[in-house]
Amino acid sequence: MDLTNLNAPQREAVEATEGAVLVLAGAGSGKTRVLTTRAAYLVEKGVPPFHILALTFTNKAAAEMKSRIASIVPNADDMWVMTFHALCARLLRIEAEYLGYSGSFTIYDAGDAMTVVKDILKELNVGKEAVEPRTVRYMISRAKNDGVSPARFREVYGEGDTVRYSAMVYARYEDRLRANNAMDFDDLLLKTLLLFEEYPEVLEKYRRRFRYIMVDEYQDTNSVQYRIVELLAKGSGNIFAVGDDDQSIYGWRGADIRNILDFEKSFPDARVIRLEQNYRSHQGILDAANGVIRHNSGRMGKELWSSVKTGQKPLEFEAESDLEEAQFVAEKAASLLREGKYTADDIAVLYRVNSQSRVLENKLKERGVPYVIYGGQSFYERKEIKDLLAYLNLLCNPDADLCFLRAIQTPKRGIGDVSLGKLFAAAQAQRRSLFDISADPDGIGKKAAESLKDFRGLIESLRRQSEELSVMQIVERTFEDSGLRAMMMSDATPEGRIRLLNIEEFFKSIADFERDTPAPHTLAGFLERSALISDVDAVGDDEGKIMLMTLHSAKGLEFPVVFITGMQEGLLPHQMSLMDGDVEEERRLCYVGMTRAKKRLYLTWSATRYVRSGAGFERMPCRRSRFLEEIPNGCIEPAVVKRQTAAYISREPVSHSPYSFAVQGKISMPPAAPEQIKKASHAPAAFTAGVLVSHPKFGRGQIVSTNGEGDEKIAVVRFDTAGEKKMFVAFAPLEIMQG
C-alpha cells in the first residue's frame, strides 16, 4: 500500500499491527484515515478480513468506516465493522441459549422499556407523585451500564424513595423481560459480558475469531464495553484503541475516562502513539486551546500543532448582559455573511445548555439571520415550553381547542382518549369550543366528568387572577397550580433537569418582556410577542443556516467560524461541576468547542446576568470563566464592537478583574453611540508589516506586525516617541506615510 499520504506518526500507527497499541488522536488529526488505512493494511499483510473486528459508537461512523475500507481492499464484507450494540446483538443471536433465551429474542426499544416500567409501577400502586417513570427507567439503565444487578442496586446507589422504588421495579423488570424472551438495549451489552464471564468456551471461540480488534472513540467506553473489549483482546493481545483523553465529555452518560488513562495498566506492553498534527485549525486557535487543556491533571499529554501558522487569533467579547452578548453574536454573524467570505453553513454558535438558545434565537431572528438548531429543537418548540404555553393561551382564549387538548392531558387528569373523543364529537356537533362544552359534558363517565369539572375550575380561577396579577405572577401561579411544576420536579433524569432549566429561561423571557417593553404589560401582549419570536417562518427555509448547538452536540464537527457563548463561571464551567468540585470534564468540553473552529473563533460572555431573586429577576454580576483566564497572554484579542470608538490598546498591565480581557494590554476606548464611529481613511488591507504611518497623538511610527483581517485587523505599531501600541487599523486615525 502507498502510505506516503500519511504523516510519520500516522504511518507508525498503521504499521503497528501486533500487540496493544493506543493512539492518542488529537482533534482534527486524521484518526478515521488511520483506522481505515490500518484495516486495509492488515488485509494486505495477509490477515483474513473475518479475523478483524472494528468497533465504534454510531451506525453512521461504522458505515463510513466500512465504506472507506471497501474502497481500498476486497472482501471487506467479511470484516465485522459495527457499533458495540450491533456486535453484542449478533453474538447473542448465536449464543442466547447459554443464558436461557432463544435466538429469536425481541429487542425492546426505549418506548417498549418505558411501557414495562409504567405497567410495573401500576402493579405496585406507585403513582407519579411518588416517582416519575422516566426517573425509574433512567436509574435501571444507569445500573445496567454500571454493571449493577438488582440485588446490589440499593447497596451501590444508597437510600431514598427514588432508589427504593427503582430497586423494586428493576427486579420485576428483569423478570418481565426474561419471561417475554426480550432484552433492552442495555441488556445487549450486559448479557454479552455475562456470557463471556460465565462461559469461557464461548469467550475462547470469539477470541479465536477476532484476532485483531480496533476500537474508535475509546475514551467514550463505559465499564461494560471496556470489560468486553478487554476480555476479547486478552486472547491474541492485538488491540488497537484510538481515542483522545482530552475529548472525553460523556461522563454523565457512563463513559469512564479511566479506561483510556489506564490503558497501559490493562495492557502493560502497550505502545502509545500521539497524533498531534491538526489539519483543521490554524496555530493561533490551537495555541489558545492547548493553553486551556494543559490545566487538566487527568490527561496523558499532547500538544496540537498546525502547519498553518497565520490566522485571526481567537477574539473575546465581554458583554454587559446576555442580551447584549446575543446581539453581538447576531450582528457579527450578519456582518460575516455580508462580507461574502463565509456562508451561513460555515458558522456555528455553541453553548453549554439548551436554554441558552432562547436569547440567541430571538436576536438572530431580529437580524434576519437564518439558523437551525442542530440535534435539538427551537426553544419555543420544546415540549415543556409548549405545555406551559398551552395553559397560558387558554387563559387568554378559552376557545383554543388545541391548547385545551394539550393542557388537559399534561399532566394526566384521568380523562382518557374515549372521553375526550366524546367531548370533541359533541363540541363539533353543537359548534361549540371544548372549553365551553366542558361546562355541561354529556355521555362521559362520572370520574372523567369530575376531572373535567376540576380542570375547568382551575382555568377559570387562573383567568380571574390574571386580571390582578403581573404577567410573571400569573405564569408562576399557572405553572404551580396546573401541576406542571410537580410533574417536572419529580423527573430526576438529566433530561428532566434540562427541562427545568428551559422553564427557568422561559420565566426569564417574561422578565425581559416586562423590563424592555412599554406598559401596560399583559399576558396577551407577552404571548403575542412570543408567538412572533417563535414564528419559524421568519427564518428563510430555502437559505443556508448557521448552526446553533450545545457543546456536546458539536463533537466530531468542524466549522470555519465558531462562537462559544456563555463563557462565565456557572455556565462554562457549569454550576453542577463547580458543586461537585471537578471541572476537568468541563474544561475538556471547552477544549472540544475551541477545536471545532477552522479559521475564526469568538469567545463571548456577559458581565451580568438576570437570575431569579425572590419573586422576580435581578441583574447579578458574573465572573469571567476560568477557561478564559487560562488562555496564555497574547493568544487572544478583544473583539471590535460598535459601542466603542476606535482608539488604541495600551501596553498597560492586564487587570485581574473578572471582567477584563485576557490580552497583553487593555482596550482603551471610551463608549460612544454607533453613529459616532468613524472608519480610518485607508482600507485595512493597506496596513502591512513595514508600512510607515503617522498618528495625531503618537506621531511617526512603523508597523511591526499585524493579526486578523477586516474590521478586526490589529497592528502593532512602534512609534518613535511613544513605543509600541496595538491598534485596530479599520478605526484608528492612522495615515500611511509615503516613502
Point out the residues that are catalytic.
31-32, 216-217, 247, 596
CB 215 within 8 A of CB 253: no
Helices (H) and strands (E) in the chain, counts: 29, 24
CB 124 within 8 A of CB 166: no
The count of other CB atoms within 10 Å of the CB of residue 443 is 10
Q: Where are the alpha helices (DSSP H) in 237-382?
A: 258-261, 263-266, 283-293, 322-339, 357-367
Gap between the Cα atoms of 609 and 618, Å rounded? 8
- 313: nearest Cα among 640, 733, 642, 690: 640
Q: What is the CA radius of gyration of the chain?
A: 30
Beta bridge partners of 656: none
Owner of C-alpha cell 492485538: 238
Counted residue by residue, the chain has a size of: 739
DSSP, res 78: G
Gap between the Cα atoms of 93 and 90, Å rounded? 5
Owner of C-alpha cell 463561571: 569
CB 135 within 8 A of CB 165: no
| Backbone torsions φ then ψ of 586, nearest 5 degrees | -65, -40
Please state the three-class secondary structure of 199-237 as a single string.
Answer: CHHHHHHHHHHCCEEEECCHHHCCHHHHHHHHHHHHHHC
Q: Which residues of 709-724 are buried (b: 16+ CB within 10 A; e: fewer)?
A: bbbbbbbbbebeebee
Gap between the Cα atoms of 53 and 72, Å rounded? 17
Q: Is 432 exposed, middle or buried (0-12, 13-18, 19+ CB in 10 A)?
A: middle
Beta bridge partners of 503: none
Gap between the Cα atoms of 418 and 82, Å rounded? 45
Which residues have a Cβ under 8 Å from the Cβ of 699 and sit 6 or more positions away?
719, 720, 721, 722
Which triple of cell numbers denotes residue 13? 500507527
Half-sphere exposure of 350 (CA within 13 A, CB side): 27
Which triple of cell numbers denotes residue 439? 361546562
Q: How far is CA 474 from CA 222, 504, 505, 521, in A?
A: 45, 15, 16, 12
CB 349 within 8 A of CB 361: no
Phi/psi zone of residue 601: left (φ > 0), alpha (ψ -120 to 50 degrees), beta?
beta
Which residues have a Cβ under 8 Å from the Cβ of 467 and sit 6 or more positions away?
none
CB 594 within 8 A of CB 292: yes
| Backbone torsions φ then ψ of 215, nearest 5 degrees | -130, 125
Owner of C-alpha cell 380542570: 455
Beta bridge partners of 600: 561
Please state the three-class secondary structure of 384-402 as a single string.
Answer: HHHHHHHHHHHHHCCCCHH
The count of other CB atoms within 10 Å of the CB of residue 34 is 27
Q: How far is CA 688 from CA 175, 312, 703, 718, in A?
A: 75, 15, 7, 13
Half-sphere exposure of 501 (CA within 13 A, CB side): 20
Owner of C-alpha cell 408567538: 531
